[in-house]
Amino acid sequence: MKQFSYYTSFYRISLVGVYLFALIGLTACSDWFDTSPKTDLTAEKLFSTESGFESSLVGIYLLMTNQSAYGGNMTFGLLDQLAQEYDYIPDGANDRAAIYNYETTTSGGFRTKQRIAQAWIKLYNVIANCNNLLKWLDKKGDEVIRNANIRNTYRAEALAIRAYCHFDLLRAWGPWKYGIDATAPNTLSLPYRTVADKEKLPLLPAKDIIIHILNDLKTAKELLATEKALRLEDSDRRYRFNYHAVNAMMARVYCFANDAPNAIACAKDVIAHCGLELSSTNLDDPALFAESLCALNMYHMSDALSAHWADGDKYTSQYFIRSERFDSYFEVSGSKREDMRTKSSAFYEHSATKMALSRKYNTNAKEAIPLIRLPEMYYIMCEMSTDLTQAAKYLNTVRNKRGYSKSLNEKFSTDADRLTALSKEFRKEFYAEGQYWFFLKRHGITTLAYDSQITLSKERFVFPLPDAEKEYGWTASQNAQNASQTNP
């Protein structure tokens, strides 16, 4: 196989993940792991058939399930450990605060520096594959894929994935308190890669990254316009970036950028037209796939993630939470539990060891890793609404579905009240999904009600660039050279 590769600032980004699935076409997912690639398969041959394009796109989704990306660190793994959602401490560690040691390779057993670097390279790996697929769509798409709707769908999904990964890179490596701190928009953050090549690119200001992300999402949304009437409740399109998922992603980005009118408009559109409804039970569906606008499929999930999520009498490597922290985190008082997110349908609980373990990645018949779910649209409207009474109604809509009676509805008299209530609901709703860390960072929340021993800070929220990016990436001298060429 002639391997195509590029560097994001000289990180080797192999596209073997795309080619691995080239000969498999549209076979069952069980075959994806049993087939070896032909070493002489070239990109030209791969993209000579429609099934080759489809296989490439499937390969991209599978790359996203890697444990360094959304099959671990960028969802339930590193991000939720940073938010102190678990009591698990790895071998060699005796201090949970050691996880915030981003500059040394030891990190007190947490290996945070390595995990950050691995997440960076894996997300840019996914982006590289998206860009390569887009390149071949430009080159051979019209010739090979005769159905314009299919061509548009492939292009839209590649653009949406590219935007999704760049946005999480921005949220992780970019500035904290975006929309609050006046300096945040101009903070140099990361390169936005749109071409599959090895050229070094400059770190762009956060506001420019957002513009690129929204441009990709707007184009994807236009290309998927035929799905406006798609109802997702019984559709496998939930495993792909469909029209409603792209719209929901736009709501998330607009909310991040503090663009209330657009955030609310997109969120309302999703709720009104996606065909999904908020669930009142999580029995047999603790990850709430029924509410997922977009999710990744992880083949043999329970086996693949057993090191973290297998139930047992004793927890060693698993992401368990002790009963005391569980009660504080989920606001449990005594034996009365209105909230379905705290019940046995959501957690394994062992009274002898006083530990609990989420069922999201164990009792998961759909083998789904949620990327974006419906309740976030209500939270976005709650946060963005100028009317505090209406904002509370949006939040209470989710709370009532989760089991809280209307007599326990939240009421806001100040913006601080709203943020406090929203923070509590966000952490309960997205436990073990990675989203709460980003919520804390965006709002600059440094104290954790459920963990008085940990204090967060700007330094802990902003991931440093990996060493290779610092050493081989875009330099200040290149900025100066570009400036002199622009202004001779």
Label the pairing between strands 188-190 and 5-7: unpaired
Q: Domain range spanning residue 151?
A: 37-299+366-472
Q: How far apart (Å, rounded) are the C-alpha atoms in residues 255 and 144?
A: 39
**Residue 92, Cα to own-chain centre: how many angstroms?**
29
CA atoms of 461 and 186, how far apart (whole Å): 17
Q: pLDDT > 90: what percent of the chain?
A: 79
Could you tell me if residue 76 is inside a domain? Answer: yes
Q: What interhelical angle do 206-223 and 243-256 show, nearest 10?
A: 160
User: Taking Cα atoms as reference points, which of 410, 417, 420, 426 lies closest to residue 378?
Assistant: 426
The answer to the question of residue 289 being in a domain is yes
pLDDT tens per residue across span 58-114: 999 999 999 999 999 999 999 999 999 999 888 777 788 999 999 987 667 899 999
- Position 260 in a domain: yes
**CA separation, residue 250 to residues 66, 265, 285, 288, 384 (Å):** 24, 10, 26, 21, 14
pLDDT score, position 8: 35
Binned at pLDDT 50, 70 and 90, residue 351 comes out as confident
Residue 468 pLDDT level (bands cut at 50, 70, 90)? confident
For the chain, what is the domain count? Answer: 1
8 Å CB contact between 341 and 330: yes
404 in a domain, yes or no?
yes
Residues 6+ apart with CB under 8 A from 12: 5
Question: Mind listing the pLDDT tens digit for each residue in 171-209?
Answer: 999 999 999 999 999 999 999 999 988 889 999 999 999
Average pLDDT, stretch 435-458? 97
Report the distance separating Cα 180 and Cα 185, nearest Å.
Answer: 10
Amino acid letter, 59? G
What is the rounded distance in angstroms from the CA atom of residue 402 to the CA atom of residue 410? 14
Q: Is 99 a domain residue?
A: yes
244, part of any domain: yes
At 236-288, the pLDDT tens digits run: 999 999 999 999 999 999 999 999 999 999 999 999 999 999 999 999 999 99
Judge whether 16 lies within some domain.
Answer: no
Per-residue pLDDT of 276-295, as tens digits, reads 999 999 999 999 999 999 99
Q: Which residues contact 452 (CB under 8 A, 6 or more apart)?
A: none
Domain CATH code at residue 110? 1.25.40.390
pLDDT digits (tens, 9 = 90+) for 361-374: 999 999 999 999 99
- State the pairing for strand pair 292-297/321-322: unpaired
Does residue 15 lie in a domain region? no
How much of the chain, in percent, has pLDDT values that exceed 70? 88
* Residue labelled with tokens 């960076």: 120
DSSP 361: T
Mean pLDDT across the stretch 139-144? 97
